[in-house]
Amino acid sequence: MANTTQLLKGIMEGVILKVIAKEETYGYEIYKKLQTYGFEEFAEGSLYPLLLRLEKNKLIKSEKKQSPLGPDRKYYSLTEDGEREMKEFIGAWDIINVKIQKVWEK
């Protein structure tokens, strides 16, 4: 049967890019937003390796900023490449979603 974790692996980079595109944000805030969007099964420990990979691939950039509560935080924002990648992901997702909906209808 379908394993939600395996399905999520292929889409979470695009989802995280979209979350970051909405506003500059830091890791734990991204995690909390994902939870409110319904991604409860996405583990916080999975987020940070994804953020590192996105930064290594120059899709996001980070900047340390002072936190009002404790140590400095690493804030993330999209690069131009990240913006392009996010738009490509959304386009690909829309195409796949249309095809899946056709299957569900039959």
Look at residue 2 and tell me whether its pLDDT is greater than 70: no
* Number of structural domains in the chain: 1
State the pLDDT at residue 16: 97
Look at residue 1 and tell me whether its pLDDT is greater than 50: no
Per the structure block, which two tokens stand in for 25?
């944000």
Instruction: Tell me the C-alpha distance between 44 and 93, whole Å.
Output: 24
Instruction: Tell me the C-alpha distance between 60 and 83, whole Å.
Output: 9
CATH of the domain at 27: 1.10.10.10
Instruction: Give the domain range for residue 45.
Output: 4-105
Per-residue model confidence as pLDDT tens digits over 47-93: 999 999 999 999 999 999 988 888 899 999 999 999 999 999 999 99
